[in-house]
Amino acid sequence: MASSSRKAMMYCQPFWVSIFNPTKEYIQFDPAFVVYWSKEVRHNLNYLVDPRGNKIVIRIGQTSVPENFFCGGYEIASFYKFKENYFLAVKYLGNRVFDLRIFDIDMTEIQYPAPKNPTDVHPEIPLPRFFNCFNVKLSIQQESITLADAFSRFWGPTFASDNFEMIDPVGNIHQIIISRGFLHMRFITKGIPQFIKYYDIKNDHVLRLTYMGDNKFIVRIFDLAGDEITYITKSTDECSTTMESNDENPFYFSTEKTLSENDIRSSSLYLDAQFADVALVKNQKIYNLSNENGDL
């Protein structure tokens, strides 16, 4: 299929997790990130910002640094006084700013030090929101997909069923089953061969999955060069495609959401910018919220 514009990458930002060794200067990036955003962040000063507003300056794309790595390990170890290994969770916010979250080996978030300038603090992303979007490799040789570890840890306990839906940007709905593995791990165990056949995928791609709650994922499909495929609607026995591909797509006007425990514990309803870019209609300013009885 033909590829569409890379601006679709702005619809949602995936996280990735790297193992941090305080004796190492280099920290690994998600390879997919470098493909999508290298022109914006390479050879520029970039910033890792923790929830309290502390900033670590990093530079990406230096010729002396191994591919898919960046310098900054010593600065991070010194600032946070690390002497052991930790997990660094990173999410790109745009404009060369990365949201940084740090966890010990048990995936317990650390206590961040107070910043020198307490007024320079960006809004904290709640952990469930931080971990709701991620990339996974779609291999045509495999019939199952392993979901991101951190996503499974934070969202897996909220799953009430194994039956899920993946919905593409034009409303095609794909039924999948997510099974639990060892400890917290989750796997898509059914629906992948039908998914590959539906889009006539002939080689490996990358899936960007954004969990919207209610056992629904928004799915976007990219080739390994970072270009998104062109989506079409068609009728098959393997996929429900009742929605039309146009600007008036009803999927973008009506989205059901059952409040989860993560929503209840948050300070606001989980409708973040990622959701808005994917599910709301461009230039539409007013929306109606209703309960299951249709009451506004």
**pLDDT average, residue stretch 255-279:** 56
pLDDT at residue 64 is higher than 90: no
Of 2 and 117, the structure prediction assigns the larger pLDDT to: 117
pLDDT of residue 254: 45
Instruction: Give the pair of three-digit tokens for residue 158.
Output: 């909220």
Asked if 81 and 92 touch (Cβ cutoff 8 Å), the reply is: no
* Residue 68 confidence (pLDDT): 74
The pLDDT score that the predictor gives to residue 276 is 54
First to last CA, the chain: 42
**Closest among 181, 221, 215, 216 to 199, alpha carbons compared:** 221
The predicted pLDDT at position 253 comes to 40
Nearest CA-CA partner of 72 in 115, 22, 19, 16: 22
- According to CATH, the topology of domain 3-128 is At1g16640 B3 domain (2.40.330)
pLDDT at 134 over 50: yes
Mean pLDDT of the 160-173 span: 93
Look up residue 79 and give its two tokens.
């600032």
Q: In the predicted model, is pLDDT for residue 179 greater than 80? A: yes
Of the two residues 31 and 28, the one the predictor is more confident about is 28
pLDDT tens, position by position, 94-103: 788 889 999 9
**Domain map (residue ranges) of the chain:** 3-128, 131-279
C-alpha gyration radius of the chain: 20
User: What's residue 3's pLDDT?
Assistant: 38
Whether residue 241 is predicted with pLDDT greater than 50 in this model: the reply is: no
Question: Would you state the pLDDT for residue 242?
Answer: 38
Q: What's the pLDDT at 65?
A: 63
CATH for the stretch 131-279 = 2.40.330.10
> Do the domains 131-279 and 3-128 match in fold?
yes
The structure's pTM equals 0.70
Q: pLDDT band at residue 164, thresholds of 50, 70 and 90? A: very high
In order, the DSSP letters of 214-283 are TTEEEEEEE-TTSPEEPP-----SSSB--S-SSTT-GGGT-------HHHHHSSS-S--HHHHHHHSPTT
